[in-house]
Amino acid sequence: MPADGTAGQGPPCKATRVRPFLRLSMIKHTRNLLSLVMIQGSNAALPLLVFPYVLGVVGAQHYADIVVTEAFSVLLITVILYSFEIDGVAAVTGLRPERDRAQLSKIFSRILVLRMTLFTVAAPMLVAGLSLFRPELTHIAAWWMLIPLSYALQPTWLYQGLQANGIPAVCTLLSRAVAVVLILLLVKRPDDFLLVPAIMGVMYALGSVAMLAFAMAGLGIRPTRVRWGELMQMIRAGKEIFLGNVGVALYRDSNVLLLGFLGLHGAPIAAYSLAEKTTKAVQAVIRPLNQLFFPKAVLVTQAANSPNRDVFVRLLRLTWPQLGALVTIWLALMAAVPILRQHVPAIGQIQELDQVMLFMSLMALGTLFGVCNFMFGSAGLNTLGQKRALLGGILFAAVVSVIATATLGGVYGAIGAAISFTLSEGVLFATIARKYYRGERLVNVAS
């Protein structure tokens, strides 16, 4: 026995050694979650802070031109991202820069080269096509092309896979914040409308260049030679995810374009666009909560072999809290708008605000369906091995959306597009839910 009379101390037990590791792991996950919230919050705040102000300053006609050309850039982003926001993250998950630098560099170079190739081919074609359709929009469209370029350059997938989201969070926050400040300071007259895509495009691009620079300087990533055959293999491997992204873009991001093709200009497009941007901002705010429940949904589906009613009910229990939070956000927003209208001049001078409120109330229901589609579709069917079924549902919803917007928009104008937004989300949810209940019937027959 030691001189102090205490019993001899053995080696620390396993639980004692594990606790610091768990604490460090929890801190790391919390930091990454906060970084993701910062990224989503920055992307959500920009339209809420900028576009109501821009509409009030430049007027409905210039604003409509801005958002129609922006819609083209959003569709181009879908092409440029391809499947790498999922495939890229999966490819680098588990790798470490200090030991896997060569492999990371190879993956990084392949994705960067393919994205830049897609941008180089698609962007000039898009601007040229738009100049034939509406020549007066050529300069606006050219500035908006900086946004897809920024997405081609930024390696957010790399940081997510390495669970090091701090750098993209800081770059995103700073670039968006500076863009907001510059627009509020410099856009003072209707003739300043061209500054909006110019400022946003330049700041987005600078933020992406900063992410790229840190990946090379801080993580030691180096460009490597890429063969054409490797690019073609990547295109083939990601085609299903890409087609799903195209379907989502068609039913979520194409309504402004379709209204423009239907001949609507000025106030109707301005009102619908502002409602759509606000709706997407609300969806961005709720997305970290979706991501928080995602692992729990995966655990539910991993215990099942196929979609069935029991899995549906268990996923529904995880979905209710998210729906409750989303309803709370919408009620708070709807209550805040009349107050902001009285006290914020930039919002008070928006003549189309009543229309915007009407469209938002119609589209709010679509966001509820959207949460369900994420939980039962992206988190549910995907992990149950039903990717093709989910892809079929997304493409079907996209077709329904385009037809509904063209039909209802042609008859009722912009309110038809708002109805179509919610209808397409509802159709997708019905398609997904049918898979669970159809699976239940098949199980009963087999037993």
User: What are 167-177's pLDDT values in tens digits?
Assistant: 888 999 999 99
Structure tokens of 233?
């293999």
Q: For 369-412, what is each residue's pLDDT tens digit? A: 999 999 999 888 887 888 888 889 999 999 999 999 999 998 89
Confirm if 57 and 192 have CB atoms less than 8 A apart: yes
178 contact partners, CB below 8 Å, separation of at least 6: 203
At residue 1, does pLDDT exceed 60? Answer: no
pLDDT higher than 60, residue 148: yes
Direct distance between the N- and C-terminal alpha carbons of the chain, in angstroms, rounded to an integer: 67
pTM for this predicted structure: 0.79
The pair phi, psi for residue 72, each rounded to 5°, is: -65, -40
How many Å apart are CA 83 and CA 90, to the nearest integer? 11
- What distance in Å separates the CA atoms of residue 260 and residue 258, rounded to the nearest whole number? 5
**Contact by Cβ (8 Å): 254, 417:** no
Burial class (CB in 10 A: 0-12, 13-18, 19+), 283: buried
Write out pLDDT tens, residues 240-258.
888 888 888 887 888 888 8
CB 361 within 8 A of CB 215: no
Residue at 141: amino acid letter:
A
Percent of the chain past pLDDT 70, that is, above it, reads 91
Pairwise pLDDT comparison (282 vs 251), residue with the higher score: 282
Closest listed residue to residue 27, CA positions, set 38, 19, 16: 19
Cα–Cα–Cα angle for 276, 282, 288, nearest 5°? Answer: 135
Write the DSSP symbol of residue 260.
Answer: H
pLDDT band at 365 (very low <50, low <70, confident <90, very high): very high
For residue 209, what are its two tokens? 């260049």
The stretch 227-234 carries a mean pLDDT of 88
Rounded to an integer, the average pLDDT of 404-423 is: 92
